[in-house]
């Protein structure tokens, strides 16, 4: 009884929730995991007929000591205008570590580059190749979800700039909406269907949600009710690289196609009643969380923390919260009897997933703190 009374007066500051707060102190990184083998363009990307197949890889970040067997996955896709960048850029590494400390499995993904900024044809094909690579990595994880202890129905894409283009296009466009350029011409190859490249794993390649940082989509008509995928978007109104409304990339007419940014995408999602959030920051530029092409310049700044918090809250709401949280004894109510049940579980050195309220892989005093706070409101 004395044990229980002490618990009731523990500071609420100990109340941390997995996927919202950093409940793990350290992460385990597995480098250079190959998820696909695909035809790649040689530098300088001026021609598309002389491709060479390359392995595409990623770095995987997991919470150290985690015992859960079904965890959500966040796939991070870097910036770089489809011309430069890799999965070791500062923002992608920091976000991967932050996600793993919150209990996610995270993967920072390399994808194929190749863009001639003087060609609409090249621009459309660059985005489409990125879509194919995102499809391949999602199909890879759905094939091997048991190996990585992930939930195959909770795979999210978080992209910055070009990486956000990839996430939005994969979520909302389909094979029957392929740009004509992707079918090739002259000596250039047909790029094939979205799910036809990289590996042979036969799984749905749609993400379950998208976090888009200063991204855009090539055609609003691609967004349809049948692809009811939640998205959260961040954009600055003074973005001269990717417009927040409708406009040209880099804000100049250099032959790249018209795109529709976060403001326009939100209008279409609202029209279709597809869940979304958009944070449009007045006067802010491209990558306003403090990076230049993915590496810290004047950041991370206050916007970085705001974006993280908003995004993690949004993704948390996409997780299955259908059961009554805190109802440990399954009597359809949460009260002191659930505290007693949890104490008994702890004292008997058993593990009960329902009682693991912060989902850190163990039943302990922190779960009781959360339970007390649920009861007292």
Each domain of the chain, given as residue ranges in start order, spans 2-14+324-376, 27-316
Average pLDDT on 289-306 reads: 94
Give the max Cα distance, the chain: 81
What's the confidence (pLDDT) of residue 291? 96
User: d(Cα 168, Cα 260) in Å, to the nearest integer?
Assistant: 11
Cis peptide before 29 (omega within 30 of 0): no
* Summary mean pLDDT of the chain: 89
What's the confidence (pLDDT) of residue 333? 67
* pLDDT tens for each residue of 109-124: 999 998 876 677 788 9
More confident residue, 91 or 335: 91
What H or E segment, with its residue span, contains residue 134? Answer: helix 120-143
What's the confidence (pLDDT) of residue 250? 79
- Please state which of the four CATH numbers 3.40.50.10860, 3.40.50.1820, 3.20.20.140, 3.10.129.10 is assigned to the domain occupying 27-316: 3.40.50.1820
* Prediction pTM value: 0.83
Assess contact for 92 and 160: CB atoms under 8 A.
yes
Q: If pLDDT is split at 50, 70 and 90, which confidence band does 358 have? A: confident
Instruction: Indicate whether 322 pLDDT > 70.
Output: no
């Amino acid at each position: 009884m004395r044990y229980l009374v002490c618990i009731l007066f523990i500071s609420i500051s100990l109340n941390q929730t997995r996927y919202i707060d950093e409940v793990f102190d350290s992460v385990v990184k597995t480098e250079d995991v190959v998820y696909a083998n695909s035809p790649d363009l040689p530098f300088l990307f001026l021609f598309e007929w002389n491709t060479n197949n390359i392995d595409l890889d990623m770095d995987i970040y997991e919470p150290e000591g985690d015992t859960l067997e079904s965890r959500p996955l966040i796939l991070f896709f870097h910036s770089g205008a489809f011309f430069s960048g890799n999965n070791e850029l500062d923002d992608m590494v920091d976000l991967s570590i932050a996600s793993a400390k919150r209990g996610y499995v995270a993967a920072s993904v390399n994808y194929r580059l190749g863009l001639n900024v003087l060609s609409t044809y090249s621009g459309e094909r660059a985005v489409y190749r990125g879509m194919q690579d995102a499809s391949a990595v999602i199909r890879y994880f759905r094939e091997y979800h048991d190996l990585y202890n992930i939930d195959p129905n909770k795979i999210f894409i978080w992209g910055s700039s070009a990486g956000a283009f990839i996430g939005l296009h994969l979520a909302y466009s389909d094979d029957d909406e392929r740009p004509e350029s992707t079918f090739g011409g002259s000596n250039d190859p047909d790029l094939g269907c979205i799910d036809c490249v990289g590996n042979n794993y036969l799984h749905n390649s749609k993400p379950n949600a998208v976090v888009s940082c200063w991204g855009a989509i090539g055609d609003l008509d691609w967004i349809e009710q049948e692809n009811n995928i939640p998205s959260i978007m961040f954009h600055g109104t003074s973005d001269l690289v990717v417009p927040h409304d409708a406009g040209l990339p880099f804000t100049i007419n250099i032959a790249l196609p018209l795109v529709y940014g976060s403001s326009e995408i939100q209008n279409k999602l609202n029209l279709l009643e597809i869940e979304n959030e958009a944070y449009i920051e007045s006067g802010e530029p491209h990558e306003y969380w403090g990076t230049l092409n993915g590496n810290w310049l004047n950041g991370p700044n206050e916007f970085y923390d705001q974006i993280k918090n908003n995004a993690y809250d949004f993704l948390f709401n996409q997780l299955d919260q259908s059961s009554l949280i805190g109802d440990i004894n399954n009597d359809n109510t949460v009260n002191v009897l659930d505290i007693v049940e949890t104490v008994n579980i702890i004292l008997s050195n058993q593990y009960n997933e329902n009682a693991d309220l912060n989902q850190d892989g163990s039943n302990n005093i922190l779960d009781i703190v959360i339970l007390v706070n649920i009861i007292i409101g």
